[in-house]
Structure 1
Amino acid sequence: MKRAKIKSLDAINKQVLRSRINIIMLIIFLLFLVLIIRLGYLQIVLGDTYQEQVENAQYVEINQSVPRGEIYDRNGNLLVGNTAEKAIYFTRHRNMSNFEIMDVAESLSSYIQMDTETLSLRDKQDYIINNYPGELSAIMPEQVTLLENGGISQNEFNEDAYSTIDEEFANSVLNEEDLNVIAVYVQMASASELNPVIVKSEDVTEEEFARVNEDLEQLAGISTGLDWQRNYPYDAALRTVLGEVSTNEEGLPRELVDYYQALGYSRNDRVGKSYLEFQYENVLRGEKPQVKYTTDKSGRVTGEETIKEGKAGEDLYLTIDIELQLELEKIAEHHLTGIREMAEEIVEMDEENGDIDYTIIPEYIDTVQLVVQDPNNGDILAMVGKHINEDGDIVDYDYGTLTATYVPGSSVKGATVATGYQEDVLDVGETLIDEPMTFAGTDTVSSFFNRNDQVPVDDQRALMVSSNTYMFKIALALMGEQYSADMPLPTDVTEAGYDLRNGLNQFGLGVSTGIDLPNEAIGLSPQLTNPMNYLYLSIGQYDTYTALQLSQYMSTFAADGKRVQQHLAKEVRGSNANDKGPVLNSYGTNVLNTIPMTDNQLNQIQNGFYDVFNTHDESRDMYGTGWDAYHDLEPKAAGKTGTAESFRDGDPVLNQTYLGYAPYDQPDMAFSIIFPTMPSTVPFFPAQYMGQDVIEKYYELYYGQESKPLYNYDAEDFYTQLEYGSY
């Protein structure tokens, strides 16, 4: 038998070692193989992606201010421009801590003086926590000791400090230099990496600007440049409608942050935040420059190269005629103050004589609204609103023409007649009896011109004298009812109410006008549960409308049944510092709908509107409700008046409306005027003369007619009319 070979211990150890080495080599090989595959994957498969990310990180669209586009009127008059002002910028380096920013702020604060009035208590508290430990020990010793011993965290200590440090203590600790440092730091701390923010742009002095420029190398991240602020050559004219732009400090307005960030804006971008500036932000904003930054390993910017220059925003030209706007503002102020002063004189006269049985409160006469437009293309030529505030000062209320709604009264009766035609319950020229009407369980209703008699009137004459009962009978016919004295009214007016409202809507009443402004009010259209409210809707005594809606309604008749979208933007032009830029976009006529009426039906209503302003039938002692103020106009005009009963603070008042267009045969202007909460008297306060002055001023500016004096109110003459209750 052979003896088995037995390996020595040394041989075994060598074999084990070789095996382990082989395993280790295999592992190393596999690791290198994985590394090679990974590197290949990164270079070959993902190489382009990472290269693109590197390039994107180097090219940055910086938030350096560029001029917004300017806004002009239809004739090229500058309404909103830009004023350049010196600015000091800060660019936050990559990896720059808040402590480093504070160091720069402390240095910069010795060069510039900031406004410190708006500093928040929290800003002051943070500065005290970091810079005044001794003062904190005096008012919160226990917390300071706990912080030093590790008993509480820094965050817990800060929360205690916020609740302990009040405004009085902060002001006692901080000196003017401290406050100036804080003000500088607050502006700088909002900066994101490689995105310049303005530290100061308002009231930068020549000395401040020069000193900072001299020492830029010692001020990390600080640079100088220009900022742009809006200026308004016509001061307050249309100021609200033109809109607001956010400030450097504000950036994206809080209520619009989500909206603008969804469009790719940064939080510190300055943007349009109201009305036209907001509506046309995409036109006016301009393009920010793109810069390629070079940074060292620490993230400090060592160089920059402008890859794409910034570009000013495009210019917006409006349909507004600023000369007409300014003249109509004067007219509105003249009539508003004239009527109010007349009311004050009449009250004084009545206190002496006691002849008038009316409640007249002059303070209620505080608002007037006016819209003038081209009825053929929807161009808004002027938007005027004036309001007398509690201090007795006249303030602009232009935006009220699209945001404030009122019950308009009889001015909407043309739409009621048109609805009667369309629903086949009224024929052109049909005669109905205007008479006091009684319904079961209600008071008697009648027309202002006829309180007691039975007077036959056709549709044209009904518009001329503003017959209430003619409209009531149309509304009854829409329900399939014919009037009889003391008749009960149907309780369900849903279907008829829908038909009547739809008839009003087609003219722009109770629906959007399409105006290119945010916050347009549509008006109130309460549910029609009461049949009398349905009847009052037919004479404009229920739903509410804006001055813009009433202007569009009247313009639809002036444009032969075409309802045209109203608009303020006329065209967009490229920015050009020396002249008008090229037209990039224009806003033409947009017909929203055409009223389904025959020429005969349309002409009948237009003839009624003509009679309102121009006809006095002496044989029947009938005259148009606007005849006194408008019949002498040349060329002739047409329109409709309205008076709606309302209440203010429990007192009865009247909303007086005056709508029209001119010249009658070829209209190129239409207007609406609203005088809300006027005294409830008979006769009505003679506010219709404002419409006369508006048309005459238009004829002066557009037709070259001779300038005429504005109507002046005579308190003594009107007092006599009120005393006898007649015109």
Structure 2
Amino acid sequence: MKRAKIKSLEAINRQILKSRINIILIIVFLLCLTLIFRLGYLQIVEGDTYQEEVENAQYVEINQSVPRGEIYDRNGNLLVGNESQRAIYFTRHRNMKSNEIMDLAVELSGYINMDTETITLRDKQDYIISQYPDELESIMSEQVTLLEDGNITQDEFTQEVYNQLDEEQADEILTEGDLNTLAIYVRMVNARELNPVIVKSGDVTEEEFAKVNESLDELDGITTGMDWQRHYPYDDTLKTIFGEVSSSEEGLPKELLNYYMARGYSRNDRVGKTYLEFQYENVLRGEKEQVKYSTDKSGEIINQEVIKPGKAGDDLYLTIDIELQQELEELAEHHLTSLRELAEDAADRNAQNGDVDYTIIPDHMDTVVLVVQDPNNGEVLAMVGKKLNDEGEIVNFNYGALTSTYVVGSSIKGATVTTGYQNDVLEAGEFMVDEPLTFADGTSKSSFFNRDSGVRIDDQEALMVSSNVYMFKIALRMAGLNYYDGMPLPNDIEEAGHKLRNGLNQFGLGVSTGIDLPNEATGLSPELKHNPGNYIDLAIGQYDTYSALQLSQYVSTIANDGQRVQLHLGKEVRGSDSNASGPVLQSFNGKVLNNVAYTEEQLGQIQSGFYDAFNTHDEATDRYGTGWDAYHNLEPKAAGKTGTAEAFNEGDPVLNQTYVGYAPYDDPEMAFSVIFPNMPNTIPFFPAQYLGRDVINKYYEVVHGEEEEGPYQYELSEFYPKLVYGSYD
């Protein structure tokens, strides 16, 4: 029998060691294999993602302020520009802690003085919590003890401070130096990493600017540069319509935060807030520069390289003629104040003599709005609004042409006649009898020019003398009825009302004009269903409300043979060029919104009626166009329509007087609308139509160099006798 080999202890140990080494090698191999697979996955599968993160960490679109595009009028006159101003910037490096920012704010506070009025109570409370624990203990000893004993958390203690420490106590603790430091800290602490924010601009003194420049090496993250602010060479002229831009402190306005954030803006971007600045933000905003930052391990910036330079915004050229605008503003002021004085003098004389039967309240006469446009392409040449405030001072109300609507009266009768044609209830040149109307419920209606007789007139003369009855009869026909004495008014006029409103809408009355401004008012259109009295009043402009812009678009549609053209203030966009007008990048041409259906004969009747309203005295009947007094001597001849609507102001009856027109009548190049709300409810009406005459004269003076004619001068001695007799005779 063979003896079994017995391994020595040394051999066994060697074998165990060898096995262990093999296991370790296998583990190492598996770990290396895992690492290789992981590296491969990261590089091949996830490589693009991580590369993008690296790029995002290095390339930052910074908020270095770039000037907005400028705004010019149609003739190249600067309306809204930019003024450079010194600025102090702060760039927060990566990993920069709040306490480091506070230390920097304390240091910078020795160089610049800040406006401290905007510091909030919460900012003061937070500063006191971190910097004045002893003073807090004297005020809130119980809460401090609870905090030290661990009975309340730091968050609970902070909330108690917010609840108990008021503004007066905070101001007693904080020094002027503290407030200055706090104002700086508040501006800097909310900055995003590697994204410069303005610490101070606008009122940086030369001394402050120089001191900071000299100490830049000691002020980590602080730089100096230039900022800008909007300036207005024509002062307050159209300033509201130009709009506002948010300040560097404000950034994105709260009410527009979601709107702009959804479009890729940063919270501290300066943006257009209202009107044209808002409407054309994408044109005016400019492009921020892109910078590549290099940082060390601690996150501090050690180098930066501009990858893409910033670019100023493009310039916006408007359709506005600023010279015409200013001249018309002066005219509007003259007529508004003169009419107020005329009313005051008439009321004073009547108080002495007692020979006028009308109540004249001059204080109600406080507003005028007017619009001038090119009727062929929708270009708005001027938007004027003026108000008299409670102190009797003139203030701008330009936006009233856009945002305020009024019942406007007979000015819209051209649209009513047109609607009658289109609904086959009226023939061009058709005669009707203008007569007092009496209905079964006792309602009575008549025309101003004819109170008690029967007068046979056609559509052209109905516009000339502003026949209410002619329009009432059109409305009744649209409801399927012909007038007879004592007839009942129709009960349900919903369908007829819809047709009539549609007819007015096609001229821009009661709908958007399409103007390139936010917040356009389209007016009030109350229910028309079982209120036939309101329905027939709609036919004479005595129910729905309209704006001066809508009236201008309406009369322009008649002037240009039936095309309703979109109104616009933007004329073209040009590339920014500091030395000259830049290249045209975009032009805004009048878009035809709809065409009003006319036959040649129908259009002729409307336009002839408008001509007669301004120019004709029918000697056979001794009837005058309603605008004859003011307009018949104009050269070139104009055409248009007048309107008067009954309204109320603080419970007192008043009249809204309106005027629309265009010139020359046979080849129109300008159209206008004027609204004088809240005029005294008298017969004769206050002579406000002379503003329309002066508007036409001023247009030809400014645009064509015609000889200047002074504005109409109102004379009480001429007007008062007419008030006494209640007549235009």
Task: Check whether TM > 0.5.
Answer: yes
Equivalences for residues 69-218 of structure 1 within 5 A: 69-218=69-218
Give the corresponding residue for 2:345. 345
> Is residue 585 from structure 1 mapped to residue 586 from structure 2 by the alignment?
yes
Aligned-pair CA distance for 1:40 = 1.3
Aligned-pair CA distance for 1:715 = 2.1
> Is residue 299 from structure 1 mapped to residue 293 from structure 2 by the alignment?
no
What is the TM-score normalised by the length of structure 1?
Answer: 0.97
Residue type at the aligned position of 1:477: R
Residue type at the aligned position of 2:480: G
Give the corresponding residue for 2:639. 638
**1:328-368 CA-partner distances (Å, limit 9, x unpaired):** 00000000000111111111111111111212111110110
Give the corresponding residue for 1:441. 441
Aligned-pair CA distance for 1:628 = 0.5
Q: Which moved more, 1:351-360 or 1:638-647?
A: 351-360
Give the corresponding residue for 1:623. 624
Equivalences for residues 107-506 of structure 1 within 5 A: 107-506=107-506
Q: Which moved more, 1:489-498 or 1:257-266?
A: 489-498
Give the corresponding residue for 2:548. 547
Secondary structure, in 3 states, of the residue corresponding to 1:217? coil
> Is residue 561 from structure 1 mapped to residue 562 from structure 2 by the alignment?
yes
Give the corresponding residue for 2:57. 57
Change in Cα spacing, 1:13 to 1:652, as seen in structure 2 (3 Å) is farther
> Is residue 574 from structure 1 mapped to residue 575 from structure 2 by the alignment?
yes
Secondary structure, in 3 states, of the residue corresponding to 2:533? helix
Q: CA contact under 8 A between 2:125 and 2:170: conserved in structure 1?
A: yes
> Is residue 604 from structure 1 mapped to residue 605 from structure 2 by the alignment?
yes
The alignment of Structure 1 onto Structure 2 pairs a total of residues equal to 727
Mapped to 2, the partners of 1:27 and 1:303 lie a distance apart of: 44
Structure 1: any 5+ residue segments left out of the alignment?
none
Secondary structure, in 3 states, of the residue corresponding to 2:236? coil
Give the corresponding residue for 1:651. 652
Mapped to 2, the partners of 1:188 and 1:525 lie a distance apart of: 52
Q: Which moved more, 1:408-417 or 1:23-32?
A: 23-32
Mapped to 2, the partners of 1:112 and 1:188 lie a distance apart of: 14
Residue type at the aligned position of 1:658: Y
Aligned-pair CA distance for 1:48 = 3.6
Mapped to 2, the partners of 1:200 and 1:305 lie a distance apart of: 24
Secondary structure, in 3 states, of the residue corresponding to 2:603? helix
Change in Cα spacing, 1:391 to 1:20, as seen in structure 2 (3 Å) is farther
Give the corresponding residue for 1:694. 695
Aligned-pair CA distance for 1:314 = 0.5
Mapped to 1, the partners of 2:273 and 2:535 lie a distance apart of: 40
Give the corresponding residue for 1:681. 682
Residue type at the aligned position of 1:512: S
Aligned-pair CA distance for 1:9 = 11
Change in Cα spacing, 1:3 to 1:650, as seen in structure 2 (3 Å) is farther
Residue type at the aligned position of 1:573: R
Mapped to 1, the partners of 2:2 and 2:405 lie a distance apart of: 121
Aligned-pair CA distance for 1:55 = 2.1
Change in Cα spacing, 1:16 to 1:359, as seen in structure 2 (3 Å) is farther
Q: CA contact under 8 A between 2:111 and 2:211: conserved in structure 1?
A: yes
Mapped to 1, the partners of 2:90 and 2:342 lie a distance apart of: 60
Aligned-pair CA distance for 1:416 = 0.5
Mapped to 2, the partners of 1:455 and 1:516 lie a distance apart of: 46
Secondary structure, in 3 states, of the residue corresponding to 2:82? strand
Give the corresponding residue for 2:511. 511
Aligned-pair CA distance for 1:673 = 0.3
Residue type at the aligned position of 2:397: Y
Q: Which moved more, 1:241-250 or 1:351-360?
A: 351-360
Aligned-pair CA distance for 1:17 = 7.7
What is the TM-score normalised by the length of structure 2?
Answer: 0.97
Q: CA contact under 8 A between 2:368 and 2:385: conserved in structure 1?
A: yes
Question: What RMSD in Å do the two structures reach over aligned CA positions?
Answer: 1.8
Mapped to 1, the partners of 2:190 and 2:439 lie a distance apart of: 70
> Is residue 726 from structure 1 mapped to residue 727 from structure 2 by the alignment?
yes
Q: Which moved more, 1:8-17 or 1:106-115?
A: 8-17
Change in Cα spacing, 1:528 to 1:13, as seen in structure 2 (3 Å) is farther
Aligned-pair CA distance for 1:15 = 7.8
Aligned-pair CA distance for 1:491 = 1.3
Residue type at the aligned position of 1:703: H
Mapped to 2, the partners of 1:134 and 1:48 lie a distance apart of: 54
Detail structure 1 runs of 4+ shifted over 4 Å in the superposition.
1-25
Secondary structure, in 3 states, of the residue corresponding to 1:563? strand
Secondary structure, in 3 states, of the residue corresponding to 2:437? coil
Secondary structure, in 3 states, of the residue corresponding to 1:371? strand
Change in Cα spacing, 1:553 to 1:11, as seen in structure 2 (3 Å) is same
Mapped to 1, the partners of 2:13 and 2:347 lie a distance apart of: 124
Mapped to 2, the partners of 1:21 and 1:148 lie a distance apart of: 58
Aligned-pair CA distance for 1:443 = 2.1
Aligned-pair CA distance for 1:2 = 11
Mapped to 2, the partners of 1:611 and 1:572 lie a distance apart of: 41
Mapped to 2, the partners of 1:553 and 1:4 lie a distance apart of: 122
**1:201-253 CA-partner distances (Å, limit 9, x unpaired):** 02100000000000001001000000010000000100100000000111001
Secondary structure, in 3 states, of the residue corresponding to 1:216? coil
Mapped to 1, the partners of 2:133 and 2:201 lie a distance apart of: 34
Q: Which moved more, 1:49-58 or 1:420-429?
A: 49-58
Q: Which moved more, 1:7-16 or 1:365-374?
A: 7-16
Secondary structure, in 3 states, of the residue corresponding to 1:260? helix
Aligned-pair CA distance for 1:438 = 1.1
Give the corresponding residue for 1:46. 46
Mapped to 2, the partners of 1:477 and 1:500 lie a distance apart of: 11
Aligned-pair CA distance for 1:151 = 2.2
**1:15-39 CA-partner distances (Å, limit 9, x unpaired):** 8887666555544432321111001
**1:160-189 CA-partner distances (Å, limit 9, x unpaired):** 111111111111111110110011111111
Secondary structure, in 3 states, of the residue corresponding to 2:691? helix
Residue type at the aligned position of 1:558: A
